[in-house]
Structure 1
Amino acid sequence: MLLNVVLDHWGYFAALVPIAVLLYASIVIVGGNEIALIERRWFGSKMPQGRVVALGNEVGIQARTLGPGLHFLIPFIYKATKSVFTEILDNEIGLIESVDGNAIPAGRIFAEVVTGHNSFQDGEAFIKNGGQKGPQIEVLPPGKYRINPYLFKLTKGTVTEIKDTEIGIVESVDGAAIPEGKIFARAVEGHASFQNGEAFIKNGGQKGPQIEIIPPGNYRINPYLFKVTKSLATKISEGEIGMVESSDGSAIPAGRIFANVVPGHNSFQDGEAFIKNGGQKGPQIEILPPGVYRIHPNLFRIMKAAAVVIAKGEVGMVTAQDGEPIPMGRLLAQSVPEHSNFENGEAFLKNGGQKGPQIDVLLPGTYRINLNLFQIQIAPAAVVEANKIGLVTALDGIPLPEREYVASPITGHNDYQDGSAFLTKSGQRGPQLDVLRPGTYYINPLMFSVAIDDVAVVERGQVGVIVSNVGDDPTEEMKKRLGSSQTGASIEEGKEKYVVPKGFRGIQEEVAGPGRYYLNRRAFMCYIIDTTNITIDWDDQEDTRFDQLTVISKDGFPIQVAVKVVIRVRPDQAPYMVAKVGSIDNLIQHVIHPMIDSSFRNQASTASAMNFLQSRSEEQSKAESRARIDLERYHVECVSVLICQIKLPEDLMETQTKRIIAEQQQEMYKMEQRSQAERTEMEKMRATADQQPTLVASEIAVKVATQKKAEMITLAEGTAEAQALEGTGEGKRLKAIGDGEASKIAAIGDATAQAYSKQKEAIGEDAIKQIKIVELISAAIENGQIKIVPDVLVSGGGTAGDGLMGQLTRLLPGVDLNALMAKGGKQPQA
């Protein structure tokens, strides 16, 4: 049945098959991520010369494309070729180069931007609207695009990423020419950080390095139009500063070193504002404090330097490299206000800051100072320790008057720490009167030099005599009553010249008592004078000031005298003593020593050596009186003059000693004589005492006889009488014995006295001989060899000396008496 139907309609089916085939060939189905590229093969106009892509009625590859969907094309006339979408990822951009279009004008590199092509997806509109052949300024952002690959050559590029610590430096490869003399292209508006190349070109963007930079972020920048170089942002750390030098801008005026400060450049981050506002090429006054800055490194060269740190106990000296010249005759630049310790260089220059060393200094602290503008030198502060003073010399100021050595004091300079105030108040150049007491002073060493000196110390028992080099000269009236020290002068006339009241130039009448004084030795000289007793010795000890005095006596003997002089200077007389002789040492060396030497020479020349020795007390009194009178003329009190020792020549002393020994021996003989007399009396008493038993016995016998007499009287008168006569005779016998013994003792004493008498008469021409004999006798007596009275004394012819020599020869056997006599200097006479 079906077959019959087919066979019946075979003609119709035969006609429909070609139609179906034609329909099938005419349908183009484009997928969702595809495009269809069309080529017109027949029945159309020819493309103009130089064209590559055809428009709608032209034969050739068509500029237009077919998007996703069902499309009908006349077979054999059009040929469709499918292609995938162009996809730009999120971190990518599409760079377009047109292979067809109008020619790019001469001098241009990139094609002009045309409208209506829908991000290059409508190639026909691109060509019709005047699109130019070559690289396109516009870029494709991330997305999917239906772009004709025959018309547009697409290259993918990466998004320009500028990190937080980076900046983008841009150089344009197209645009207007940079004016002559300029280095960087001027900034133009509307290019959205160089992402809109069309706006950049239309608004007059210039070819070459751009003054604008790209801050951190992601940017769709055409790398064919803009060459972007990444650089690190400028980071100024704590404790650092950034010094800036511009490579572009106006010229710095002649005579100046640093560029003027201009506003609005936001710490050199806005280079365009810097140039527009008149920024000058060269080193900049402004500096960068710590922080992060997006500064064009090709426009501004940043030099990092450590901040200026002035430690405790230090001072910073500043030298400006730019500014007005220092006036003639001045050493340091004048102080100007508002420069904030030289941190504001602009204010320094605007307010008339001068070039060169500055009078202001930097105190301890941290400073952000432009080291290109200001050179900093660090020096130790002036430190005055305990018991010290600082003597100050000003190196700048008005000249000192001709007769002045020390500058007149002024106030308000804060112990020389404010040099500007010192100069403002007409401080004088040279040594200053005011001193620095113990402490730390931040003084400009370029303005003031400080020398350390000891404080003036006046101990107990001393006074300080002050000699002033400053003050008014004494008046004529004052001079009339000064200067006379003649005998009989009045109290006023007796004052030494140049001893003046306080406030006048000269030796000050008022002395300084014990204590410590901050005394300027350049202005005031202090002479320390001892007011206690001062002892001066002349002897042979090593630690004494002078050797013992050697004087010549009247009889020509040299005498050595050890002397001690004690002096004292009263406090009220100390200035006059200084005016007279200068110092204690001068007083001792040039006054007292020659005075004492002369005094003792004069005294010794009027007396013999022995008399000088024997009248020592008188000589001492005379020397003291003379010294007291002489020293009063020098306002010095003589306490005492003491003669400690007098040394005569040895020969003279030996003779004197011998004479004294002889006198002593004579005295000894007298004593011996008295001793022998007493001995005789003693012997007599001893003999009497020895007979006492006999006498007692006789008395008892008498008593017994008397009793017996009464008993025996009747017995025998004759016997009793005989016994009585016998007793009487016995008594006479005993008496005779006693008288004889007494006579013996008396005879010995008389002989001894006679011998001493003769010895005394013998001393004279035979004095030495008798002295030696007496010495032998004394030695023999001490040794117990002889008795002082011989048992037998035989007298004969010759002298008493001969008798004595014979007796000594017998008593001292073995002793050579003649040799002893010879040793004594004289032989005994025969």
Structure 2
Amino acid sequence: MILVYFSLAMWLMGFIILYYIIKESVVLVGGMEIAVLERRWLGRNMPQGRVVARKSEVGVQARTLGPGLHFLIPFLYKATKSEFLEIGTGAVGLVESIDGNPVPPGNIFAKEVAGHDAFQDGEAFLENEGEKGPQIQILPPGKYRINPFLFSVGVEPAVEIPQGKIGMVTAQDGAPIDTGRLLAKRVAGHSNFENGRNFLEAGGQKGPQIDILLPGTYRINTKLFTVVVTDATVIEQGMVGLVTALDGVPLPEQEFVAKSVAGHSDFQNAQAFLDTGGQRGPQLDVLRPGTYYINPMMFQVSADSVTVVERGQVAVVVSNVGEEPTQEVKIRLGAAQAARPQGGGFQEVYVVPKGYRGIQEEVAGPGRYYLNRRAFIPYIVDTTNITIDWDDAKDTRFDPLKVISKDGFTIGVSVKVVVRVRPDQAPYMVAKVGSIDNLIIHVVHPMIDSSFRNQASATSAMNFMQDRQDEQKKAEDRTKSELEKYHVECVSVLICQITLPQDLMDTQTKKIIAQQEQAQYTEQQKAEQARIATEKTRAEADQQKVLVASEINVKVAEQNRQATIKSAEAEGEALRLKAEGEAKGITAKGEAEGNKILAVGEATAKAFELQGKVIGGSGLTAIALAERIKDGQIKVTPDVLVQGSGAGELGGLLAAFLVNHMTKAVTPAGATQPLAPSMPQEATAGDAPEGQANA
């Protein structure tokens, strides 16, 4: 029985020993676990300074066992299980090696070695001379089988730059920054500082970096690179950004603003700015409204309001940059010159063309200008009419003028002066007096005050008031002449009110009242005379109907008389003209007939003269007599034959009467009377033969 119990105890002890041996030699690692081994004995001692053992060395081993069933030499190794290292999305793992070679002096981070499979092969890390301390390489999101006794991993969120922000980067390791520089130079290949090894191998420098991070998410080793998130540069509407470079080539002497360089993309590429010779200090270029990703460790940006030139204004620009105008240029341009206080002395100011330092002859018209006030100083000048008042109103600049007249009275004068600056003359006005305010205070006001004092002292108070228009004209002429010297046009000088002493005004008032009363009496007298004339006119008006009828009758009679006279004169004139016409007609007809008869007679006489020379005078007479007989002009036989029976004288008279009567009855009007034969004057009817009578 005892033997049975002993055997049972031995079997139980053997089972326990076997279980313990199996337990110590078999390691089952879960799917999300690793096993870290510790070698307890039977191996080399670790070198001095090492804390993690390699193969054949006693101590915590660098290698690990992954998921699965593993068989170990019993009692030689002790396995400690650990879960996988998990790095979530939006995070990175920063690794620090607990063991390895020491980091060389001057370095902060261990060099990066290959072959360790993202720190999951600790044995390879040590064999490849991995260094102890912070590692450059980071672990991106994922799960890793990392020996926690060899590597300490801190999980940090990835660097996220929101919209409207930038990341300023400072490297904790690298080469020293070049002497005289504020920022480290740019190196290529580091992929926005995500690849620390390339950054260091390319000569990346320790300290503030010239490159910045734009909005986005970056897996950056924040132990190697410190990132500070700050606002991007925003220039609001109606503003302009003035830039000052903190690094670059020093400004030359006598220069206030750095020269403009190209290629820096509105100061967003700082390295290009330096490479093209950008100068340190205030910059000539400005930033217009918008958002800019500018490194504030390289450029300081201050916002300034834009220059607004309203309608009726121009901006005279004084340039602090450009070439200094030489004496030859000054003579050639004929630039206006003025002297203005500058510090302790005086400086000549010239109006110059574009590109030269000084007052620009070209003005800026109405509009909005993104002007760099460090380089260009604008002076706004009104080109519309500017009114300057001297009166008692609260909002006016000057009180009424107080002047003393020639007769010792104090006179108050309210004056209004209207001036205007032409746009093309504005630069010369600024060169002369600096501004409109200076012109009003130092030129116009003293001149107006002096003019009216001089004019008032040359005349009496009453004459000054009565000759107001002349006094105003004198002041205006003088003001126009004086302001032309300052390139300002005087539009008008107006005297608004003249105030005399009250006692003088009382005396003048009494005098005027007396004159008015005298004038009133005169007018009353004229009114009475007018009333008399009115009564007379009214009486005449009452008899106006009778007077009008009488006047009309007189006018009608006069018109009839005139008509009769005119009619008689017209008839007489008509008869006279008719008689004159008939007389002229008869005269003309007679002259024509006479000319005809004369012509015929002359022709006939000439013909008779020629015929007479041929046939003689008696032959010519016979021919003419025969022709007249042939033409019936001479009758040979009587037309009427009256015969009697011898009745004596009574019969002869009766016969003659009958012959004459019958001849008139038979002869047509206009016919030629028969030519009776010539008879002796003594012959009578009784001498003819008895019973015949010739008619």
Same fold (TM over 0.5): yes
1:337-358: CA deviation from partner (whole Å, max 9, x where unpaired): 1111111111111111111111
1:160 aligned onto 2:24? no
Please say if residues 93 and 159 of structure 1, whose CA atoms lie closer than 8 Å, have aligned partners that are also in contact. no
1:274 aligned onto 2:125? yes
Corresponding residue number in structure 1 for 2:289: 438
Please say if residues 52 and 150 of structure 2, whose CA atoms lie closer than 8 Å, have aligned partners that are also in contact. no
Corresponding residue number in structure 2 for 1:583: 435
SS in 2 for 1:231: strand
CA shift, 1:651, in A, is 1.2
1:209 aligned onto 2:76? no
Distance 1:219 1:439 in 2: 65
Please say if residues 184 and 211 of structure 1, whose CA atoms lie closer than 8 Å, have aligned partners that are also in contact. no
Corresponding residue number in structure 2 for 1:419: 270
Corresponding residue number in structure 2 for 1:372: 223
Distance 1:601 1:392 in 2: 54
1:552 aligned onto 2:419? no
1:183 aligned onto 2:25? no
Corresponding residue number in structure 2 for 1:468: 319
**Structure (1 or 2) with the greater helix fraction:** 2
What letter corresponds to residue 453 of structure 1 in structure 2? D
1:612-643: CA deviation from partner (whole Å, max 9, x where unpaired): 11111111111111111111111011111111
1:252 aligned onto 2:103? yes
What letter corresponds to residue 646 of structure 1 in structure 2? I
CA shift, 1:562, in A, is 1.1
Select the residue among 408, 413, 424 that pairs with 1:572.
Answer: 424
SS in 1 for 2:518: helix
Distance 2:13 2:17 in 1: 11
Please say if residues 500 and 508 of structure 1, whose CA atoms lie closer than 8 Å, have aligned partners that are also in contact. yes
What letter corresponds to residue 374 of structure 1 in structure 2? F
Corresponding residue number in structure 1 for 2:200: 349
SS in 2 for 1:498: strand
1:212-260: CA deviation from partner (whole Å, max 9, x where unpaired): 1111223344673322222221111111111111111111111111111
1:648 aligned onto 2:500? yes
Question: Which protein, 1 or 2, shows the higher relative CO under an 8 Å CA cutoff with sep ≥ 6?
Answer: 2
What letter corresponds to residue 218 of structure 2 in structure 1? Y
CA shift, 1:556, in A, is 1.3
Please say if residues 112 and 135 of structure 2, whose CA atoms lie closer than 8 Å, have aligned partners that are also in contact. yes
Is the alpha carbon distance of 1:485 and 1:172 closer, same or farther for their aligned partners in structure 2, counting shifts above 3 Å?
closer
Corresponding residue number in structure 1 for 2:605: none
The correspondence of residues 236-251 of structure 1 with structure 2, limited to 5 A, is 236-251=87-102
Distance 2:540 2:166 in 1: 118
Distance 1:323 1:221 in 2: 45
SS in 1 for 2:129: coil
Distance 1:445 1:688 in 2: 110
Distance 1:273 1:508 in 2: 74
Is the alpha carbon distance of 1:333 and 1:684 closer, same or farther for their aligned partners in structure 2, counting shifts above 3 Å?
closer
1:125-149: CA deviation from partner (whole Å, max 9, x where unpaired): xxxxxxxxxxxxxx55xxxxxxxxx
Distance 2:61 2:473 in 1: 113
SS in 1 for 2:486: coil
Distance 1:81 1:669 in 2: 169
Distance 2:200 2:134 in 1: 14
Select the residue among 616, 627, 651 that pairs with 2:479.
Answer: 627
> Where do 5+ consecutive residues of structure 1 fail to align?
1-36, 39-60, 62-79, 97-138, 141-155, 189-204, 487-495, 693-830
Corresponding residue number in structure 2 for 1:51: none
Please say if residues 96 and 151 of structure 2, whose CA atoms lie closer than 8 Å, have aligned partners that are also in contact. yes
Select the residue among 309, 322, 325 that pairs with 2:176.
Answer: 325
Corresponding residue number in structure 2 for 1:169: 36
The correspondence of residues 636-785 of structure 1 with structure 2, limited to 5 A, is 636-677=488-529
Distance 1:235 1:245 in 2: 16
Please say if residues 24 and 72 of structure 2, whose CA atoms lie closer than 8 Å, have aligned partners that are also in contact. no
Distance 1:261 1:685 in 2: 136
SS in 1 for 2:135: strand
Is the alpha carbon distance of 1:471 and 1:320 closer, same or farther for their aligned partners in structure 2, counting shifts above 3 Å?
same
SS in 1 for 2:325: coil
Distance 2:67 2:459 in 1: 120
Distance 2:490 2:99 in 1: 92
SS in 2 for 1:633: helix
Distance 2:278 2:137 in 1: 35
CA shift, 1:479, in A, is 2.5
CA shift, 1:587, in A, is 1.1
Please say if residues 485 and 633 of structure 1, whose CA atoms lie closer than 8 Å, have aligned partners that are also in contact. no
Moved segments of 4+, more than 6 Å = 80-88, 680-690
CA shift, 1:661, in A, is 0.2
- Equivalent pairs counted in the alignment come to 530
Is the alpha carbon distance of 1:93 and 1:427 closer, same or farther for their aligned partners in structure 2, counting shifts above 3 Å?
farther
Distance 2:157 2:10 in 1: 63
CA shift, 1:675, in A, is 3.7
Is the alpha carbon distance of 1:604 and 1:246 closer, same or farther for their aligned partners in structure 2, counting shifts above 3 Å?
same
SS in 2 for 1:407: coil
1:310 aligned onto 2:161? yes
> Where do 5+ consecutive residues of structure 2 fail to align?
339-347, 544-695
Please say if residues 94 and 157 of structure 1, whose CA atoms lie closer than 8 Å, have aligned partners that are also in contact. no
Please say if residues 93 and 220 of structure 1, whose CA atoms lie closer than 8 Å, have aligned partners that are also in contact. no
- What is the root-mean-square deviation in Å for CA atoms of aligned residues? 2.8
Is the alpha carbon distance of 1:210 and 1:607 closer, same or farther for their aligned partners in structure 2, counting shifts above 3 Å?
same
Select the residue among 524, 537, 555 that pairs with 2:376.
Answer: 524
Select the residue among 356, 362, 386 that pairs with 1:504.
Answer: 356
Is the alpha carbon distance of 1:510 and 1:162 closer, same or farther for their aligned partners in structure 2, counting shifts above 3 Å?
same
Please say if residues 178 and 185 of structure 1, whose CA atoms lie closer than 8 Å, have aligned partners that are also in contact. no
CA shift, 1:465, in A, is 0.8
SS in 2 for 1:375: strand
Is the alpha carbon distance of 1:687 and 1:405 closer, same or farther for their aligned partners in structure 2, counting shifts above 3 Å?
closer
Is the alpha carbon distance of 1:208 and 1:336 closer, same or farther for their aligned partners in structure 2, counting shifts above 3 Å?
same
SS in 2 for 1:245: strand
Corresponding residue number in structure 2 for 1:383: 234
Corresponding residue number in structure 2 for 1:599: 451
Please say if residues 52 and 99 of structure 2, whose CA atoms lie closer than 8 Å, have aligned partners that are also in contact. no
Distance 1:293 1:443 in 2: 39
Identity of aligned residues (%): 61
Please say if residues 184 and 210 of structure 1, whose CA atoms lie closer than 8 Å, have aligned partners that are also in contact. no
What letter corresponds to residue 495 of structure 2 in structure 1? I
CA shift, 1:575, in A, is 0.6
Please say if residues 242 and 305 of structure 1, whose CA atoms lie closer than 8 Å, have aligned partners that are also in contact. yes
Distance 1:185 1:673 in 2: 143
SS in 1 for 2:248: coil
CA shift, 1:170, in A, is 1.5
CA shift, 1:548, in A, is 1.5
Please say if residues 435 and 520 of structure 1, whose CA atoms lie closer than 8 Å, have aligned partners that are also in contact. yes
Distance 1:559 1:662 in 2: 25
SS in 1 for 2:495: strand
SS in 2 for 1:432: strand
Is the alpha carbon distance of 1:399 and 1:684 closer, same or farther for their aligned partners in structure 2, counting shifts above 3 Å?
closer
CA shift, 1:674, in A, is 3.5
Distance 1:480 1:682 in 2: 85
Is the alpha carbon distance of 1:657 and 1:180 closer, same or farther for their aligned partners in structure 2, counting shifts above 3 Å?
same
